[in-house]
Amino acid sequence: MARVHRIVLSVGVVFFLSCQTSWATKAYVTDSFRISLRRGPGTEAKILKFVPSGLPVEVLETQDGWCRVRLSDGEEGIMEGWALSRYLIDRLPWEDQAKNLMAQNAKLKEELAQIDKKWQATLLQEQQLNKDIKERYESTRKRAEQLDEENDTLRASRSKKWFTTGGLVLFSGLLVGLFMGKNPGSRRLSF
């Protein structure tokens, strides 16, 4: 029994929601068509206007395969009428989708071209920076080699200087010793 109540309640809610005119949904006239907008739901009702493909309409009500729609026509203002439900779709028509995609494609190509230009400029800057760093590295490496050679020369020079100084001291001591040993007035120390 509770199950029957649920089913009846569900059907009632669906029926109530489908009859509401305040909850309009957006639809489009189907691709590659011009449909007739009529005064009432039926083929015998007077044709108000032919609506081109892709025109957005607001679906206000659905009844027996017909939809009451509202469209905003720039010349005539807002217009309401009835159209066959099978000629209305809830997606953007293919032609409009193609136009949108072509516009997006053109925009993306433009963005890609700008990104490519920036990338090329950055690449050139990086190559120049890399070249400058290599030149500085080579210059620094050559300078380091020169300093190593100068350091080796100075070490060798310092060793020669000490050797020469030691030789002079020894030679001076020898001369003083010889000079003092020949001098008759000098005394010899004996131990």
Average confidence (pLDDT) per 10 residues, the chain, 191 residues: 65 55 65 80 90 85 91 76 88 82 95 95 94 94 92 83 83 82 60 52
- First-to-final CA distance of the chain: 145
Note the pLDDT of residue 117.
Answer: 95
DSSP designation for 35: E
Please state which CATH class domain 23-91 belongs to.
mainly beta
Distance CA 25, CA 44 (A): 26
Residue 144 corresponds to which tokens in the numbers above? 């380091």
For residue 177, which amino acid is it? G
Tell me the sheet residues that pair with 29: 88
Note the pLDDT of residue 141.
Answer: 93
Q: Are 57 and 71 in contact (CB under 8 A)?
A: yes
Across the beta sheet with 88-89, the strand order is 47-52, 34-38, 77-84, 66-73, 56-63, 25-29, 88-89
Residue 74 corresponds to which tokens in the numbers above? 């720039």
Note the pLDDT of residue 12.
Answer: 59
How many CB atoms are located within 10 Å of the residue 47 CB?
A: 12
Note the pLDDT of residue 133.
Answer: 95
